Amino acid sequence: MQPYVPGKRQPAHIPKGKLSRWSELKIWWREIDRVLLFLVLLLMSFGAIAVAAASPATANRLSTNSETLDPLYFFYRNVAWQVVGLSVMIGASLLSRENARRAGVLMAGGMLGLLFLVPVIGPEINGARRWINLGMQFQPSEFLKPTFAIALAWIFSWRLRDPNLPVLGISTALVGLIAALMMLQPDFGGTILFAGVWFVMVVLSGVDAKRLGILIGGGLAGITATYFLYDNARHRIDSFLGGGTAYDQVDLASRTLLAGGWTGAGYGLGIRKMSLPEAHTDYIFSVIGEEFGLLACAVIVILYLAIVTRVLMRLVDEEDLFALLAGAGLVSLLGGQAFINMLVNLQLFPSKGMTLPLVSYGGSSTIAVCLTVGLLLAVTRRNPFLKSRTKGLGEWMGLGQADGMIPNPPRPKREIQP
């Protein structure tokens, strides 16, 4: 067999063991979506600046008579977590699709097991049990989110081998179990996010209109039941619908966001942020608005839209069903969490306690979001010398049948460009 020479047309199959580590890195750099990676790194850079602006407010709030925190305490810690997160992101993106699928499914099983233990042994913080301590305190649900999308894509792809498998029922049971465990913490916002990712992937799987209507009806019934059975959710929704008061977190966030006008008060010159709770996490978007202006907020929004659009463009001609669903699920998770966070800061959505991904300060949450991006880069890797003959996303969306799922399509062919 001829040795691998980067840049030249290669044989169809090259044993991995024959490649040097440098050659594997070259292949990785050639196959990953470098535009997506650049957008993510740019957003993380803006996030570091935003945390630096929000850090004095949180440091001042958490300082005591016996201990005074450095104004940039959370900025320094955030940079350290970002370095760890970037290592996780690059490591995950180096995986092949097959290995990303295996790792995602195994990790989803592990995090689901820990989710059972959280209500039992997890420490209670601010009236909720969402964390677990295994040498480091973290939220299993944060790491379950990206691996949940991978596991769902794997389950839906079973239909390509056996069209009679009840994958819709299996996926519904899985998301129902996760929702029940999340509500035991309780975490209504996280439950909504899991359900939203599941819904997106079900729609892309080709469910028929009748079943889709049943799923929507069931979701609305679940939200209605939560309103009457879950006091915290009812109070937040009532406060949101009633307009709130000047002392509500969401109202404070909205006032802070608008205080800077279009161009902002300037770095370090924000005043309202000093009274804003969780300025470095849940309400960092408001800090950006006050100190850097609404124009800077618009740039952040555009970056998120660019990331989502870039991934969807990448998936348009993707003929592998697992990669298509996994990519769509992961990017809907990232975009959905960002969308909810920004709506909360704009007082257009009830408070959910969600961070702004890639921007907010976080420890394990930063690592989890970077894992999401790393898996997204892995499943969207593509050999640039291969040209697809299929219509990708459009082809899959047109393959739904009466049973509500995608049938077993003919295996797509790929050709090497001359």
User: 245 is written with which tokens?
Assistant: 């008061």
**Mean of the pLDDT values across residues 99-106?**
93
What is the per-residue pLDDT for 400? 43
Model pLDDT for residues 35-74, shown as the tens digit of each residue: 999 999 999 999 999 999 999 988 888 887 788 888 899 9
User: What pLDDT, on a 0 to 100 scale, did the predictor assign at position 245?
Assistant: 47
The mean pLDDT of the chain is 80
In 45-185, DSSP assigns E strands to 132-133, 137-138
Residue with tokens 């996010």: 193
How far is Cα 169 from Cα 68, in angstroms, rounded to an integer?
Answer: 54
Residue 92: inside a domain: yes
Q: pLDDT tens for residues 159-178? A: 877 777 888 888 889 998 99
Backbone angles phi, psi at 138, to 5 degrees: -150, 165
Classify residue 20: in a domain, yes or no: no
For the segment 305-333, the average pLDDT, to the nearest whole number, is 90
* Helix ranges (DSSP H) in 132-280: 140-156, 167-183, 188-204, 209-229, 231-242, 249-259
pLDDT at 413 over 80: no
Q: Measured in whole angstroms, how far is the alpha carbon of residue 119 from the centre of its chain? A: 23
**Nearest Cα to Cα of residue 328 among 303, 302, 308:** 308
In a domain, 163, yes or no: yes
In a domain, residue 1? The reply is no
User: Does 377 fall in a domain?
Assistant: yes
Q: Picking from 135-139, 154-158, 232-236, which range would have the lowest pLDDT averaged per residue?
A: 232-236
With a pLDDT cut of 70, the percent of the chain lying above it is: 79
Q: Is residue 84 part of a domain?
A: yes
> What's the pLDDT at 399?
44
Q: What is the pLDDT of residues 217-250, one digit of tens each?
A: 777 777 677 666 666 666 666 665 655 544 467 7
- For 279, phi and psi rounded to 5 degrees? -65, -30
Domain that includes residue 193, residue range: 30-61+69-416
Q: Which pLDDT tens digit goes with each residue over 347-401?
A: 777 777 788 999 999 888 899 999 999 999 999 988 776 655 544 555 555 544 4
Is 3 part of any domain? no
- The number of folded domains in the chain is 1
Domain assignment present for 22:
no
Q: How many residues does the chain have?
A: 418
